[in-house]
Amino acid sequence: MAPQGVQKTVEVEPVIPPLPEGYTYATVSDKISSIVLGQRWRRGWFAGFAGAFLLVMLLLYAICYLFVKGVGIWGINIPVAWGFAITSFVWWIGIGHAGTLISAILLLLHQRWRTSINRFAEAMTIFAVACAALFPLLHMGRPWLFYWLFPYYPSYMGTWPQFRSPLVWDVFAVSTYFTVSLIFWYVGLIPDLATLRDRAHTRFKQIVYGMMSLGWRGSAIHWSRYEMASLLLAGLATPLVVSVHTVVSFDFTIAIVPGWHSTIFPPYFVAGAIYSGFAMVLTLAIPLRKFYHLEEFITLRHLDNCAKVMLGTGLIVAYGYMMETYMALYSGDIFEKFMTHNREMGPYWFIYVIVLLFNVLLPQSLWSRRVRRSVPALFALSLIINIGMWTERFMIVVVSLHRDFTPSAWGLFIPTSWDWAVLVGTLGLFTALFYLFIRYLPAISIFETRRELAEEKEGK
């Protein structure tokens, strides 16, 4: 107890408001719409887009050469028939999950901190799924016959898709996920497109944004229908966060390959998807708030909450790693034991070290509030986690395949320059699409920010 006459002081953590003080409806609209309608950062934008566009050209060149020569230009072989293509496919699909979680699940849970990051997170989902969809098509060997996978294709030979094939499951999962995410993203854009239409200075922009806003006038009936559509789409998109990556995990769990045949894969894959997705959100949010001076909208509170989600899902991923090792030893299966030993001591031992270091050990620094509120530290950790999660998918796909049940079926996968070209090219495609998005569409929701501003004033 403190002595009498001595007042005990308690240090109170400062509360960071979700929205900046001193802003009005007009200033919020001016700040966000000026990024699209103004000419700020034009040189920096063109420099960044030019670099991303060069990588897109590299991707197109690699794809054209792949069509001419075939998948033999990659490092895949027997037994490693799945290489970078399926590794990157799973990684890109996982990145898109954070956008759906932020936009749909947090909307249903009435989490106000999603307001400043949900718009570009939803765009990230669309672009990531677009990149992911390329890899199964390129890996098919005959990508021009991709339409054979659709069940309604009227084949004159009377053949139907093999519904027991994970490739067909992926078609359903990815196409459904992309369609719902695209509709949800576009519906959320409609009020802001009307704002850009009313603030545009040229006739061309007024016509384009006017057509895209679908005649929005902000009437009561428009808002009523908008709210109903948003809730219905959010309710429809919420199960997709769990179902899509669960279906992707079935690509592996239905096989008898040691390291794949595991019941822990569905929740483990979902947690890993959200983990890498929130890491990509931070990778995009930190430069965006820096170069466009949006620190008052994307605050340390947003970054801190994203870091907490990463910490929680990272712990689930770490639990998955431990359970894989434990179940391999507990099962008594010599092949499962060898798979675990091969990951740790085999030719790809350094992959296992990177996975544990980048996905488990280094992210434990997020327990510290100082690290969660440090912008450079968060940006570095987001890059580390993205690299680590891609490496984890490589470990699952390649390391599990390269040594089969018998030594006569063993082999090594060594990626070629074409493997790297396609991977780096999709990174360029994703970046180029994101540059176009922030240049021509509002990266932060204008109407939701104004609504939060009104609710704050009413609360005061």
- Looking at residue 12, its pLDDT comes to 43
* Inside any domain, residue 437: yes
Q: Say if CB 378 and CB 290 are below 8 A apart.
A: no
Q: Say if CB 278 and CB 106 are below 8 A apart.
A: no
> What's the CA gap between 283 and 440, in Å, rounded?
20
User: 407-444 pLDDT, tens per residue?
Assistant: 888 889 999 999 999 999 999 999 999 999 998 998 88
Indicate whether 21 pLDDT > 70.
no
> What's the CA gap between 455 and 460, in Å, rounded?
9
- Looking at residue 172, its pLDDT comes to 84
Indicate whether 18 pLDDT > 60.
no
Question: In this predicted model, which residue has the larger pLDDT, 246 or 457?
Answer: 246
* 3-state secondary structure at position 174: helix
* Inside any domain, residue 7: no
**Token digits of residue 349:** 């031992």
> What's the CA gap between 90 and 76, in Å, rounded?
17
Question: Residue 142, Cα to own-chain centre: how many angstroms?
Answer: 28
Residues near 217 by beta carbon (within 8 Å), at least 6 away in sequence? 194
> What's the CA gap between 129 and 388, in Å, rounded?
20
Please, what sign has the CA dihedral across residues 21, 25, 28, 31? negative
Q: Say if CB 429 and CB 89 are below 8 A apart.
A: no
* Domain encompassing residue 271: 25-151+161-459
Answer whether 0.85 is exceeded by the pTM. Answer: yes
C-alpha dist (Å) from residue 233 to 76, 182, 239, 247, 357: 40, 10, 11, 21, 38
* Inside any domain, residue 295: yes
Question: Residue 414, Cα to own-chain centre: how many angstroms?
Answer: 27
* Inside any domain, residue 451: yes
Q: Say if CB 332 and CB 55 are below 8 A apart.
A: no
Q: Say if CB 414 and CB 73 are below 8 A apart.
A: no
Tell me phi and psi for residue 165, to 5 degrees.
-90, 130
User: 166-222 pLDDT, tens per residue?
Assistant: 778 888 888 888 998 899 899 989 998 998 898 888 899 889 999 999 888 888 898
- Looking at residue 40, its pLDDT comes to 59
> What's the CA gap between 71 and 67, in Å, rounded?
8
* 3-state secondary structure at position 363: helix
Please, what sign has the CA dihedral across residues 274, 280, 282, 285? negative
* Inside any domain, residue 55: yes
* Inside any domain, residue 20: no
Q: Say if CB 405 and CB 334 are below 8 A apart.
A: no
Q: Which amino acid is present at 97?
A: H
Residues near 136 by beta carbon (within 8 Å), at least 6 away in sequence? 85, 86, 89, 167, 170, 171, 174
> What's the CA gap between 150 and 153, in Å, rounded?
6
Give the residue-averaged pLDDT of 103-117: 82
Q: How many domains does the chain have?
A: 1
Give the residue-averaged pLDDT of 374-388: 94
Q: What is the CATH classification number for the domain harbouring 284?
A: 1.20.1630.10
* Inside any domain, residue 11: no
> What's the CA gap between 47 and 379, in Å, rounded?
21
Neighbours of 371 (CB within 10 A): 18
Q: Which among 451, 437, 282 is positioned nearest to 375, based on CA atoms?
A: 282
What does DSSP assign to residue 155? -
> What's the CA gap between 274 and 128, in Å, rounded?
13
* Inside any domain, residue 6: no
User: 161-179 pLDDT, tens per residue?
Assistant: 677 777 788 888 888 889 9
**Does 79 sit behind a cis peptide bond, omega within 30 degrees of 0 on the bond before it?**
yes
Please, what sign has the CA dihedral across residues 135, 140, 141, 147? negative
Indicate whether 406 pLDDT > 90.
no
